[in-house]
């Protein structure tokens, strides 16, 4: 199967269970309330989840949601945040994470002029992917969610075809 056989589309109710199963299998976590969270991405006005599918099977997903100030970390602004990209290990390295991110950016830029994301300072794959899309690092802060104890806040601002930082780096 080739990358041409992969489709990126908004999460549908029929995909929720498969997305939860992917998270449980790949992340080795309990399902918890993921099904409810993912279902809320279908109906929520300020959030969306996209899935990558091959032969109708979900093999990856990525979310975007609007968060209030300080929700993503101390000193983070209110705004739309990329969240939760997960690609089945068998499908990694094929550009699916980038395609999911581009779909989420298109959705967000129809609603706002800036998109943010936070990742651990040690998550080099995520940092490289977002740098290639021209995200700009804004600040670093202490975070228990990062294995190295430091998280990175970055943003991408769209003004017509121009991309520029909205917040100056601290």
pLDDT in tens, 110-168: 999 999 999 999 999 899 999 999 999 999 999 988 889 999 999 999 866 544 444 43
What domains lie within the chain, and their CATH numbers?
3-163 (3.40.630.30)
Specify the pLDDT at position 2: 52
60-69 mean pLDDT:
97
- Kindly list the distances between the CA atom of residue 170 and the CA atoms of 17, 67, 86, 114, 149, in Å, as whole numbers in the listed order: 41, 21, 30, 18, 18
Contacts of 54 (CB under 8 A, 6+ apart): 1, 5, 6, 7, 91
Which distant-in-sequence residues (6+ apart) come within 8 Å of 99 by Cβ?
6, 8, 52
Instruction: Provide the percentage of residues in the chain whose pLDDT is more than 90.
Output: 79
Q: Do 104 and 64 contact (CB within 8 A), yes or no? A: yes
- At 41 the three-state DSSP class reads helix
């Amino acid at each position: 199967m080739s990358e041409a056989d992969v489709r990126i589309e908004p999460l549908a109710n029929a995909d929720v269970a498969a997305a939860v199963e992917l998270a449980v299998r790949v992340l080795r976590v309990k399902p918890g309330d993921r099904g409810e969270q993912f279902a809320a991405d279908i109906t929520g006005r300020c959030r969306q989840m996209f899935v990558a599918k091959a032969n109708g099977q979900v093999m990856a997903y990525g979310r975007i949601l609007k968060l209030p100030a300080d929700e993503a970390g101390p000193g983070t602004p209110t705004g739309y945040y990329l969240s939760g990209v997960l690609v089945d290990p068998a499908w990694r390295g094929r550009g699916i994470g980038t395609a999911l991110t581009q779909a989420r950016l298109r959705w967000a830029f129809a609603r706002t002029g800036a998109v943010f994301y936070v990742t651990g300072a040690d998550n080099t794959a995520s940092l490289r992917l977002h740098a290639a899309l021209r995200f700009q690092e804004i600040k670093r802060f202490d975070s228990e969610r990062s294995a190295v104890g430091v998280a990175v806040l970055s943003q991408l601002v769209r003004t017509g075809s121009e991309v520029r930082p909205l917040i100056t780096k601290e």
